[in-house]
Amino acid sequence: MENALLIGLSRQTTLERQLDVIANNIANVNTSGYKADNSLFEEYLNTPAHEDNFVGSDRRVSFVQDRGTYRDMTQGAVEGTSNPLDIAIDGSAFLTVQTAGGERYTRDGSLHINNQGQLVTAAGNTVVGATGPIVFQPTDHDINITPDGTITVIEGNGRTDAQRGKLRLVSFTDAQKILKEGFNLYSAGDGGAPQPDTKSTVRQGFIEKSNVNSVAEMSRMMEVSRAYASIANLMNQQSELQKTAIQQLADVPA
């Protein structure tokens, strides 16, 4: 295969994977606490696909390669709600939750109380407090969550504050290396062991929205689609040139 076709194919492959990343961002534009992904590209130099008869810089062909993605960890816009259990985190911290696979981490602060009185996420995962699950009594009311994550309530018909727990906020040495596991959850991965975060603060009655810029992502999707079509057209032209050349070379006068 000619080098032009190989280079075009490498670019189409990376564009296809970039389109998958963009589509996933757009699909999560309304997911609370979602962090957008972006593709990383690099030049990949290799010897040509034909016999190596050249010297110096002419001996290498430049391909494109997507070597991974990086995550935009900037904080999304904060939106007020009427739910006293909703929280938004100002800072780089994550909520700790308990799942079937062990402890996981999320920025989704859309919380509620399940049938057992436990504080859980929208997906039903138990929110982990400093000393374990956070459990409410049936008669608790006037729930208050302080900036440091301490949760207090008014018990029964009295006016006495009672503490129900404290949110376990953690951060990572390298948040780019934590792994997405779906359902708005992360595992520690190679990001280092989670460390208690005392710098971030909690805002009660708010939700952090996705940090995806929907207009920018739609524009990027159109740009990638056009680039893919342009390369496909170029490769078709190259193929037609080869076909014509072969036909003309084969047309030897009798």
Percent of the residues in the chain that have a pLDDT greater than 70, as a whole number: 85
Long-range contacts of 189-195 (CB under 8 A, 24+ apart): 194/94, 194/96, 194/105, 194/170, 195/170, 195/171
Residue 61 has pLDDT above 80, yes or no: no
Chain centroid to CA 153: how far?
35
HSE of 137, CA atoms in CB hemisphere, 13 A: 14
Q: Which of 55, 48, 40 is nearest to 4 (CA)?
A: 48
Residue 59 has pLDDT above 70, yes or no: no
The model's confidence at residue 9, banded by pLDDT at 50, 70 and 90, is confident
User: What value does the mean pLDDT of the chain take?
Assistant: 86
Question: Is residue 196 located within the same domain as residue 222?
Answer: no
The model's confidence at residue 213, banded by pLDDT at 50, 70 and 90, is very high
Backbone angles phi, psi at 229, to 5 degrees: -65, -40
Could you say which DSSP state residue 237 is in? H
Strands 195-196 and 206-208: unpaired
Helix (H) or strand (E) holding 18: helix 3-27
Question: Is residue 100 located within the same domain as residue 173?
Answer: yes
The amino acid sitting at 26 is: I
Instruction: Centre a 10 Å sphere on the Cβ of residue 137 and count the other Cβ atoms it contains.
Output: 12
Predicted pLDDT of residue 150:
96
Question: Is residue 136 located within the same domain as residue 23?
Answer: no
pTM, two decimals, is 0.80
Q: Which of 92, 30, 71 is nearest to 180 (CA)?
A: 71
The model's confidence at residue 121, banded by pLDDT at 50, 70 and 90, is very high
Residue 249 has pLDDT above 80, yes or no: no
Question: Is residue 82 located within the same domain as residue 188?
Answer: yes
Question: Is residue 188 located within the same domain as residue 98?
Answer: yes
Structural contact between residues 203 and 107, judged by C-beta atoms closer than 8 angstroms = no
Longest dimension (CA), the chain: 109
Q: Which of 126, 138, 74 is nearest to 100 (CA)?
A: 126
Q: What is the mean pLDDT of residues 180-209?
A: 93
Predicted pLDDT of residue 110:
95
Task: Provide the token pair at 16.
Answer: 């296809």
Question: Is residue 106 located within the same domain as residue 59?
Answer: no
Distance between CA atoms of residues 66 and 78, nearest Å: 33
Question: Is residue 99 located within the same domain as residue 192?
Answer: yes
Residue 36 has pLDDT above 50, yes or no: yes
Question: Is residue 69 located within the same domain as residue 118?
Answer: no
Question: Is residue 118 located within the same domain as residue 182?
Answer: yes
Q: What is the mean pLDDT of residues 181-190?
A: 91
Predicted pLDDT of residue 49:
47
Positive or negative: CA dihedral 205, 97, 122, 31: positive
Distance between CA atoms of residues 136 and 173, nearest Å: 33
Question: Is residue 13 located within the same domain as residue 55?
Answer: yes
The amino acid sitting at 208 is: E
Q: What is the mean pLDDT of residues 166-189?
A: 93
Total domains, the chain: 2
Range with the lowest mean pLDDT among 8-12, 21-25, 109-113, 150-154?
A: 8-12
Predicted pLDDT of residue 252:
61
Q: What is the mean pLDDT of residues 146-171?
A: 90
Residue 56 has pLDDT above 60, yes or no: no
Range with the lowest mean pLDDT among 23-37, 68-82, 232-246?
A: 232-246
Percent of the residues in the chain that have a pLDDT greater than 90, as a whole number: 61
Structural contact between residues 16 and 191, judged by C-beta atoms closer than 8 angstroms = no
Question: Is residue 96 located within the same domain as residue 161?
Answer: yes
Question: Is residue 203 located within the same domain as residue 90?
Answer: yes
Helix (H) or strand (E) holding 26: helix 3-27
Distance between CA atoms of residues 240 and 211, nearest Å: 45
- Domain limits for position 63: 3-74+212-250
Predicted pLDDT of residue 244:
78
Residue 39 has pLDDT above 60, yes or no: yes
Distance between CA atoms of residues 89 and 63, nearest Å: 42
